[in-house]
Amino acid sequence: MQPDAPILLFDSGVGGLSVLAELRKLLPQAPVIYASDQAGLPYGTKTEVQIATRVAGLLGRMSERYRPRLVCIACNTASTIALGMVREVLEVPIVGTVPAIKPAAAMTRSGVIGLLGTAATVRQTYVDNLEREFAVGKTLLRHAAPELVEVAEAKLRGGPVDRKAVAAAVAGLRNQPGGERIDAVVLACTHFPLLREELSENFGSDVALIDGAEGIARRIADLTRGQEFARTGPDRAITTGPAEYLEALRDSLTRHGLDRIERF
């Protein structure tokens, strides 16, 4: 393993920066490439076949070019659909993003949990299985809020937050039978923690907002334990779309230690 072999974080957009922020706390010395499939955004409206083939194909080509030591799919939608296929294609450790239903079920006192995700994530059998395994005796209410992806990206660009969209997403959970008893909400999209403040204002301070970023960072640290890290250049953000997309986010990327922008 070369010391400068990067950790590759992959997302459809820039929601995975919430994962990168936690990873920096544990492995500040690790070289990172952040890959944004902006040309494929949004994933939540695509079919399972489209997502699986696109993600597996892109990560295969990126792995050939960048030779990462580990790949993290920092996207709930891509992970719940494509994780198995990617693990068959690549010969490096793969870390996926799992909706944090287990910790939410352990935390709830009312027994009612909310889940916000994209349309593709919310309907996945993968989520059904997590509910059966970890939330027995609990009620899991789901709501698809794909519009929050663009709201989060607009916030990162320094634009105004569409608070009506945030309020509508919260109402999508609260207005379901039993929704008034929700005391824990799973943020099942890596974009959504970027709106934690706005979501908390709408849910109220008595509702815990739970995402998997810390757990993902710990898993990456465990899998790379004992490895040598050395940077030979600045950490990069790459995009499958126009470079202008990331240029508009340069300030946010720089705050996350990503000092170079490239087109893939």
| Sequence-ordered list of residues with C-beta below 8 angstroms from that of 136, at least 6 positions apart, any chain | none
DSSP 124-151: -HHHHHHHHHH-TTSEEEEEE-THHHHH
Closest CA to 59 of 30, 20, 92, 32: 92
Q: How many CA atoms lie within 13 A of 94 on its CB side?
A: 22
- Both tokens of residue 184? 């824990």
| Sequence-ordered list of residues with C-beta below 8 angstroms from that of 83, at least 6 positions apart, any chain | 73, 94, 96
Q: What is the DSSP letter of 157?
A: T
**Residues that are catalytic:** 75, 189
What kind and span of H or E run contains 106? Answer: helix 101-107
Contact indicator for 213, 21 with CB cutoff of 8 Å: yes
Q: Which residues of 37-70 are buried (b: 16+ CB within 10 A; e: fewer)?
A: bbebbbbbebeeeebbebbbebbeebbeebebbb
What is the distance between the alpha carbons of residues 236 and 213, in angstroms, rounded to a whole number?
20
Q: Which residue in this structure is represented by tokens 């027994």?
A: 111
Contact indicator for 240, 58 with CB cutoff of 8 Å: yes
